Structure 1
Amino acid sequence: MSKELREMLQKLEQMKAEVRALLGEDKVDEAEKRMEEVRALQKKIEVQRQLEEEERGGLGLGGGYSVGGGAATKEDAELEREYRQIFMKAIRRRPISSDERSIIVEYEKRAVMNEGGANPAIPDGDSSLIVPKDIQTRINEVMRAQNDLSQYVRVEEVTTLSGSRVLEKDEAMTPFAVIDEYGVIPETDNPKFVAVSYSLKKRGGILPITNELLTDSDQNIINYIVRWNGKKAVVTNNKLIIDLLLTMSPKDLADLKAVKKVFNVDLDPAISMSSIVLTNQDGYNWLDSQQDANGRFLLQDDITQPGRKLLFGRPVVVCSNRYLPSIAGTPNKAPIFIGNFEELIVLFKHRFFEFAVTKEGGDAFKRDTTDLRTIMRNDIKFWDTGAAVYGQLALS
């Protein structure tokens, strides 16, 4: 992005702010005149963009990707690199220039991540910025490597802090009636719907970064932030999902035949075929020790994904006993959830992580650190409670 384009974008934001101020003072005529100038500048910016794209070799694909999720262009890749440099500069609490602020505005606008419209002027050194796309991807990779249970449920990206989704109620349908020639077509039963409401909750934490670490390379700092946020996100998501699962009514499963009955009878055939098995280490150990009459273990290797096991052809997911403990008793019982978790649970989330940094506030000044505050907003709800069964497996 050229300096000329950055200056135009910055001027555009200033002019929009002036229009809002005029509207706030009920100066509608003046606001309309100013808005004409805004539209003219927007056209000029678009022409400038096209000119720069032509100078870089046209609109062909470049060596990057779109921050907004569309086709990759050289301009997008360049914007991504520039924004990442500003992001690391903000992490180090260094001043951000007016040109760099215009890059922030442009990046957030393309990423469709702005909350509530206009982006306020960002003070020097403030890093209240969205996480760059390439770092988001790396955090997701770390989360997957640590068996984030949110990869098995439905995840909905939302743009508002509260709202609802409409779901068709699971009820038995009656067949269409037979109609004689010239006969009157009767009314049929109507579909029924239920609303699933969500209200996002803010969750976060503070990561102290030593000022010695901040003098290291960008790559080492990013690796440190990625690992920490990835682990915290996994723990957060897994607890949300497990706590919700444990609110289901449990069913005693005395043996493997009872487990098989869940697949064959308790679940709808379509749900059963797309199911997974979620249990803890105790439950997995019990399943992995079961043998048929010929001494062959019933858990089979998944040839499409080495290291994963299958029970009756369904993937088995193992959660640590630390987060999903067994139920004490005589005998002890291991929790085992069988079903399609994408149909069972929906995780609503807004944006990705938000970062803000200080080296004066809190305990940062006393311990000579730079504190990175991370905030995420999400909520979790049941979607279709008939899509899974909560069993308690007797560990005798």
Structure 2
Amino acid sequence: MGINELNNAWIEAGQKVSDLNDKLNVALMDDSFDQAAFADLKEQRDHAKERRDALKDQLNEARAAEVVKMHDNDKEPLNDSQLSLKDKFVKDFKNMVTTGTSGTGNGGLTIPDDIRTTINTLVRQYASLQNLVRVESVTTESGSRVYEKFSDIKPLASLDDETAAIGDNDDPELTTIKYLIKRYAGITTVTNTLLKDTAENILAWLSTWIARKVVVTRNQAILAVMNTASKKPTIAKFDDIKDLELTALDPAINATSSFLTNQSGFAVLAKVKNAMGNYLVQRDPASPEIYRIGGKPVTVVADRWLPDVSSAHPLYYGDFKQAITLFDRENMSLLATNIGAGAYEHDETKIRVIDRFDVEQVDGDAYAVGSFTTVADQTANFQAGAGK
């Protein structure tokens, strides 16, 4: 099978995954929900995803093989006018891998802003939890911020007399949040065939690899902070979810709050019914792709990004942007070696990516964390009338 055939097969496989995901969403909202049929659809979708990813890997291998077959005379060097920012970055990257130096000092090769934009776009596509919290760009390794909790804000004084003196506001209850940028790093092994590939393919590989690492790393850090919530209600029945929505948080925060769960948890919640037989989860009439509980939007994240904890599904509720801040140093860098980390012994090249950020809880009262395995329907509060 040639490269073009592999590429077409990969595209078709991706479309099949998308179609099966649509069918799963429709099945979840069907009143006549069939658990066996849903499980079968999910198995088909998972199999389709594995085939899609396998085709992508095979396509990359085929492209790399074609590059290896190319004669050196067919590989024309870039001229000065072709050395754009991305081309220069690829050139520096190749130089770093082959010689261990990149001309940027011991810190490694810094990733340019426009390539970071590509990486951030991929991060959003990978359902990053970062999109739910507040992100603040910082330029220093450490610092502090002073916050006033939303629930502690006092109203302005009412003045009955137009000539009355304006008094001082009540002293707010301020909280100082300190951040300390941490380094998160990962290493991957590359072969020399990568360096013979096109600039576009090298950038695509780097962007995808880094984006996946960033998502997994930052999700883990965000979840570690989210799971320190002081409010952890137990959820076992329909009314527990309503209590979470209506009583767990201050009403001022409740107005901007939303739900967050994983795909397995959503599959359970989507089948829960109230006393009248209506589903707890409802589609937004104006935007059918959005689901709501009691009018509040529900964000569903894949299990791989938001896993179960001790076989229990997570259910977060609150204003996450108010609750948590990710301080982003925005200074990713790459460093390569063919000597350390076992590379010398195996004749390999190791590439290390470093991401710099910190995640801090700003307002612990702005959200609550529940968990559940099953959720019982609300008990019916009516009886059918006797037939006459």
Query: 2: distance between equivalents of 1:221 and 1:181?
Result: 69
Query: TM-score, structure 1 length as denominator?
Result: 0.64
Query: How many Å apart are 1:294 and its aligned residue?
Result: 5.5
| Alignment-derived partner of residue 26 in structure 2 | none
Structure 2 residue corresponding to 1:264, chosen from 219, 243, 246: 246
Partner in structure 1 of residue 228 of structure 2: 247
Which has the higher relative contact order, 1 or 2, with Cα contacts under 8 A spaced 6 or more apart? 2
Indicate whether 1:82 and 2:74 are aligned: no
For normalisation by structure 2, the TM-score amounts to 0.65
- 1:289 aligned residue (262, 271, 280): 271
Whether 2:355 is the aligned partner of 1:355: answer: no
Q: Which residue of 2 aligns with 1:324?
A: 307
- For residues 251 and 153 of structure 1, the distance between their equivalents in structure 2, rounded to whole angstroms, comes to 21
- Asked if structure 1 preserves the Cα contact closer than 8 Å seen for 2:96 and 2:336, the reply is no
Structure 2 residue runs of 5 or longer lacking an equivalent are: 1-79, 376-388
Cα distance in 2, alignment partners of residues 177 and 257 from structure 1: 40
Deviation readout 1:343-378 (Å, 9 max, x if unpaired): 000001112421122334433333343322111111
SS of residue paired to 1:159 = coil
Q: Partners in 2 of 1:282 and 1:95 — Cα distance?
A: 42
Shift of 1:92: 1.2
CA distance in 2, matches of 1:343, 1:220: 39
What does residue range 1-396 of structure 1 map to in structure 2 within 5 Å?
A: 82-93=84-95, 122=104, 128-169=108-149, 170-171=151-152, 173=154, 176=157, 188-249=169-230, 250-292=232-274, 295-302=277-284, 307-321=289-303, 323-327=306-310, 333-393=312-372, 395-396=374-375
The one-letter amino acid paired with 2:272 is Q
CA distance in 2, matches of 1:185, 1:246: 43
- The letter for the 2-side match of 1:325 is D
Q: CA deviation at 1:308?
A: 4.3
CA–CA distance in structure 2, aligned partners of residues 393 and 95 of structure 1: 48
| SS of equivalent residue, structure 2 residue 266 | helix
Shift of 1:247: 1.3
* 8 Å contact from structure 1 (residues 348, 378) kept in 2: yes
Contact map agreement 2:96 2:335 (CA 8 A) in 1: no
Aligned pairs, number: 291
Task: Quote how far apart the aligned CAs of 1:292 are.
Answer: 4.1
% identical equivalent positions: 32
Which residue identity does 2:141 align to in structure 1?
L
State whether residues 324 and 363 of structure 2, in contact with CA within 8 Å, keep that contact through their aligned partners in structure 1: yes
Aligned residue identity for 2:293:
L
Q: Cα 1:89–1:267, aligned 2, differ >3 Å: closer, same or farther?
A: same
Shift of residue 334, structure 1, vs aligned partner: 3.0
